[in-house]
């Protein structure tokens, strides 16, 4: 039998590593998960609480808006409060239009931030554009900070776009407006990176992003940007949207780009449901990297989808309980049980396929399906370890999972 080679992720694109407050982005480092607050940064209490929540959920870098004097003045206070809570999380300042002034007027803010994010389309108009961009870069040099040059489709440099459109129109076989817009995004990022380097900022202090809102545009733009530069790249779909649409679009776009070996840090920009949890975007980003096999953050709980063989919802509830339990405990367990993030748990709905699946997991249970005897075989490391019966099957299984974790990971094996 001849077996053709299977398709695996492409080798990671080689990029220049950037140190963001102790978190390495690019240069072969694991793809970093980041997120952004939606609090008013001037509200120190609310911002500290949300940064802490995002960090606890697994965000390795958190970006905050710095849009006015009050926000800039709050940044060092936020940094201090986080440190007093023992949270060593790099904070990124997101600046638009007056970033150069805010950084100059608030040196403690410039010092407290681990990175400055600049959008070349929102840095100033006409002759101010390059001047104000350079002023921010000079601040980054003075304070030894990296920057992200973050181009955004919605605020693209209109002068550059118009020039490219005019040149294209004069071309004998013009490209589509969509292609020219994609090209303008890439050129805006590369031109700004070149200007930053000419100003004296080292390449290992520059991360690039080029965010758009359509999946195919994102894939096209990043594929080309990756081909033309070796800067570390931040991936993200802008305005991904709410609920499942935002998750699916982000996963589809970034999954394809990551599979091609491109991307050093990701953010999933989900529009939260009213009153929804901002940490959701962190969990989705982690899950994307984990299901693709690039990183492990939390133990995986495999659950069957259910079918006509089980009309009970017990297995769904148990899978949810176990998953919530594992995620809630991870901040503590990361230190206490080294390697626990690699744990695989299976919760299956009946004994037709359940035992087979359970054997593939580290610990798995097959709950009784409709008409099956009320017994739930449990498998540990591929072998049957016992059978649970009675009304407390779920609780008993939770105890078994906890015991397994203690025995296997408790001594750091
Ligand atoms: S494990 Fe059983 S209940 Fe779950 S999907 Fe398979 S056959 Fe259906």
pLDDT 10s digits, 5-46 = 888 999 999 999 999 999 999 999 999 999 999 999 999 999
Cα of 303 to ligand 1 centre, how many Å?
9
C-alpha closest to that of 339 among 273, 254, 413 = 413
Residue list, annotated binding site for [4Fe-4S] cluster: 304, 307, 350, 357
The best mutation among 302, 303, 306, 361 to test binding of ligand 1, ranked by most ligand atoms within 8 Å of the C-beta, falls on: 306
Q: Cα–Cα distance between 13 and 93 in angstroms, integer? A: 27
Nearest CA to ligand 1 atom 6: 353
119-174 pLDDT, tens digit each: 988 887 777 888 899 999 999 999 999 999 999 988 898 889 999 999 999 988 88
Give the CA-trace dihedral at 392, 398, 400, 404, to 10 degrees: 180
**Is residue 82 very low, low, confident or very high in pLDDT (cuts 50, 70, 90)?**
very high
Cα of 310 to ligand 1 centre, how many Å?
7
Tally: H helices and E strands in the chain: 13, 15
Residue 266, pLDDT > 60, answer: yes
Query: What is the Rg, in whole angstroms, of the alpha carbon atoms belonging to the chain?
Result: 24
C-alpha closest to that of 37 among 23, 27, 25, 47 = 47
Q: What is the pTM of this model?
A: 0.91
pLDDT at position 100: 93
The pairing of strands 375-380 and 383-389 is: antiparallel
Q: With a 6 A CB cut-off, is 348 part of the ligand 1 pocket?
A: yes
Q: With a 6 A CB cut-off, is 350 part of the ligand 1 pocket?
A: yes
β-sheet bridge partners, residue 363: 345, 380
CB count in 10 Å sphere of residue 120: 24
Q: What is the mean pLDDT of the chain?
A: 92
Residue 413, pLDDT > 70, answer: no
Cα of 342 to ligand 1 centre, how many Å?
24
Residue 326, pLDDT > 90, answer: no
How many alpha carbons lie under 13 Å from residue 327 in its C-beta half-sphere? Answer: 18
pLDDT at position 154: 86
C-alpha closest to that of 250 among 235, 232, 264, 262 = 235
Q: Cα–Cα distance between 13 and 109 in angstroms, integer? A: 34
Q: Cα–Cα distance between 146 and 189 in angstroms, integer? A: 15
Q: Cα–Cα distance between 62 and 87 in angstroms, integer? A: 12
Cα of 377 to ligand 1 centre, how many Å?
14
Nearest CA to ligand 1 atom 8: 307
Q: With a 6 A CB cut-off, is 353 part of the ligand 1 pocket?
A: yes
pLDDT at position 183: 96
pLDDT at position 272: 80
Q: Cα–Cα distance between 317 and 301 in angstroms, integer? A: 12
Residue 205 per-residue DSSP state: G
The pairing of strands 375-380 and 363-366 is: antiparallel
**Is residue 273 very low, low, confident or very high in pLDDT (cuts 50, 70, 90)?**
confident
The residue whose two tokens read 């694109």 is: 13
Q: At what angle do helices 280-291 and 243-259 cross, to 10 degrees?
A: 40
Nearest CA to ligand 1 atom 2: 350
**Is residue 305 very low, low, confident or very high in pLDDT (cuts 50, 70, 90)?**
confident
Q: With a 6 A CB cut-off, is 312 part of the ligand 1 pocket?
A: no
SS3 content of the chain, % helix, strand, coil (to 5): 45, 15, 35
Q: At what angle do helices 158-169 and 177-199 cross, to 10 degrees?
A: 130
Q: At what angle do helices 215-228 and 243-259 cross, to 10 degrees?
A: 30
Q: With a 6 A CB cut-off, is 354 part of the ligand 1 pocket?
A: yes
* 327 touches 291 (CB < 8 A): no
Mean pLDDT of the 294-308 span: 89
């Amino acid at each position: 039998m001849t077996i053709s080679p299977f398709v695996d992720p492409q080798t990671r694109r080689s990029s220049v590593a950037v140190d963001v407050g102790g978190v390495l982005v690019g240069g072969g480092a694991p793809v970093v998960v980041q997120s952004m607050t939606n609090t008013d940064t001037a509200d120190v209490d609310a911002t500290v609480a949300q940064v802490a929540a995002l960090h606890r959920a697994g965000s390795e870098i958190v970006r905050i808006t710095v849009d006015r004097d009050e926000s800039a003045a709050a940044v060092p206070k936020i940094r201090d409060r986080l440190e007093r809570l023992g949270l060593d999380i790099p904070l990124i300042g997101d600046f638009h239009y007056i970033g150069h002034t805010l950084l100059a007027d608030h040196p403690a803010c410039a010092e407290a931030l681990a990175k400055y994010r600049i959008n070349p389309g929102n840095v100033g108009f006409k002759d101010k554009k390059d001047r104000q961009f350079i002023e921010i870069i000079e601040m980054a040099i003075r304070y030894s900070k990296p920057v992200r040059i973050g181009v955004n489709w919605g605020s693209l440099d209109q002068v550059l776009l118009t020039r490219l459109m005019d040149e294209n129109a004069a071309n004998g076989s013009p490209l589509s407006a969509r292609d020219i817009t994609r090209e303008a995004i890439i050129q805006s990022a590369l031109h700004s990176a070149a200007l930053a380097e000419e100003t004296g900022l080292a390449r290992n202090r520059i991360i690039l992003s080029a965010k758009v809102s359509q999946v195919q545009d994102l894939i096209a733009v990043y594929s080309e940007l990756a081909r033309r530069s070796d800067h570390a790249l931040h991936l993200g779909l802008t305005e991904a949207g709410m609920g499942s649409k935002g998750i699916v679009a982000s996963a589809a776009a970034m999954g394809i780009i990551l599979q091609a070996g491109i991307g050093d840090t990701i953010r999933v920009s989900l529009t939260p449901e009213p009153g929804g949890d901002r940490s959701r975007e962190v969990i989705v980003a982690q899950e994307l990297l984990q299901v693709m096999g690039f990183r492990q953050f939390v133990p995986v709980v495999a659950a069957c989808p259910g079918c006509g063989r089980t009309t009970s919802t017990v297995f769904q509830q148990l899978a949810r309980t176990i998953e919530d339990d594992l995620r809630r405990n991870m901040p503590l367990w990361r230190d206490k049980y080294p390697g626990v993030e690699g744990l695989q748990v299976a919760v299956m709905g009946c004994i037709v396929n359940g035992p087979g699946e359970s054997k593939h997991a580290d610990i798995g249970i097959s709950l009784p399906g409709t008409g099956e005897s009320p017994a739930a075989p449990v498998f540990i490391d591929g072998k049957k370890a016992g059978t649970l019966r009675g009304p407390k099957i779920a609780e008993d299984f939770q105890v078994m999972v906890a015991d397994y974790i203690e025995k296997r990971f408790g001594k750091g094996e």
